[in-house]
Copies of this chain bind each other. A is one copy, B any other.
Amino acid sequence: MTMRRGKTDVSKDDAPGTQSLDRALGLLRLVATRAGRGIRLSELVQQSGLTKPTVHRLLQALERQGFLAQDGVTKLYHLGPESFVIGTLAHERYGIHRAALPSLSRLATASEDTAFLTVRRDWYGICLHRQEGAFPIRSYVLQAGDRHPLGVGAGSLAILAALPPAEAEAIIQHNTPDLLARYPGFPPERLREQTALARANVYAFNPGQLYAGSWAVGVAVVNRAGQCEGALSIAAIDQRLQPARCAQLVALLHSEAERLAERLERPAGATNIAARARQNSMNH
């Protein structure tokens, strides 16, 4: 999440020829983090570590191109229509979100708590969707757009545990500095234990480690090829995740994860690939 300028740059954006592009896309991602709420220029300056003129200029360009939109009154920056279009078109390849919506609805309705869809991206888990249930006490610990190191949070941990052990270990090692610096509740050693436990249980459990009182359970969505596509999870206050109920919810999650995996096997509107490919030669 750090984007320092100058030689002290920590993040390894060191490939040449594209500094401003990296910066701009980083900003775009930051705005996405606050999806629906909007974000102020000053906060972007602070979060990115860039100077104000630079941030402003990049935001202007992103807005001109339609990837961002600024509210004329509040001055808050939001995702723009092009972001929506791009994402909609990407759905053809990464359609888990669309496919997961019914499952999330059912989970939220049945459990009355909050259901989440998390996907992996590099060494992080990203919350793509949050579906609230009827129960009146809700935690706002995890919002759509939030990204945490894999293993931090129930859905994220479920994904980590579903990966080949060697890969999971490599990810933990990669994330170690970040974990030590920003996640006091998640020392790498503890993450290893919990990953092993989650692997054995075939579900992940987070008893309020990120924020006390905010508990959650999650299960991975694994396709026929054995690859993990994401995770479904349910968060609730601790009283509502005691063993008996927890087991029920895990069963529910497993059943929905399986349904979702099946649905992913056959992408909804897609025609057969060969026909599509042949169509390409039609365009001049």
Within 8 A of B (CB), among A181-196: none
Extra A-B contacts (16), CB below 8 Å, given A35-B92, A37-B279, A85-B87? A18-B20, A18-B57, A20-B21, A21-B24, A36-B92, A66-B122, A81-B121, A83-B89, A84-B90, A85-B119, A85-B121, A86-B86, A87-B87, A87-B91, A98-B101, A105-B282
Contact across chains for A102 and B283 when beta carbons are under 8 A apart: yes
A280 interface contact, C-beta 8 A: yes
Within 8 A of B (CB), among A75-89: 78-89
A7 interface contact, C-beta 8 A: no
Contact across chains for A101 and B282 when beta carbons are under 8 A apart: yes
Contact across chains for A25 and B277 when beta carbons are under 8 A apart: no
Contact across chains for B88 and A128 when beta carbons are under 8 A apart: yes
| Complex Cα–Cα for A38 and B65 (A) | 22
| Complex Cα–Cα for A128 and B92 (A) | 11
For A128, what are the chain B residues with a Cβ–Cβ distance below 8 Å?
Answer: 85, 88-89
On A, residues with C-beta under 8 Å from B are 15, 17-18, 20-22, 24-26, 28-29, 32, 35-37, 57-58, 60-62, 64-67, 78-94, 97-98, 101-102, 105-106, 108-109, 119, 121-122, 126, 128-132, 134, 140, 144-145, 269-271, 273, 276-277, 279-280, 282-284
For A80, what are the chain B residues with a Cβ–Cβ distance below 8 Å?
Answer: 90
Look across to chain B and name the residue whose beta carbon is closest to the beta carbon of A12.
Answer: B64
- Of the candidates B78, B93, B283, the one whose C-beta lies within 8 Å of that of A105 is B283
For A282, what are the chain B residues with a Cβ–Cβ distance below 8 Å?
Answer: 101-102, 105, 140
For A88, what are the chain B residues with a Cβ–Cβ distance below 8 Å?
Answer: 87, 97, 128-129, 144
Lowest 9 A-B CB distances belong to which pairs?
Answer: A87-B87, A18-B61, A35-B89, A102-B283, A84-B94, A84-B90, A79-B90, A36-B92, A83-B90
Q: Taking each of A22, A134, A279, which has the highest tally of chain B beta carbons within 10 Å of its own beta carbon?
A: A279
| Complex Cα–Cα for A222 and B13 (A) | 45
- Of the candidates B26, B62, B93, the one whose C-beta lies within 8 Å of that of A84 is B93
Q: A87-B88, A93-B79, A121-B82 are in contact. Are A37 and B106 (CB under 8 A)?
A: no
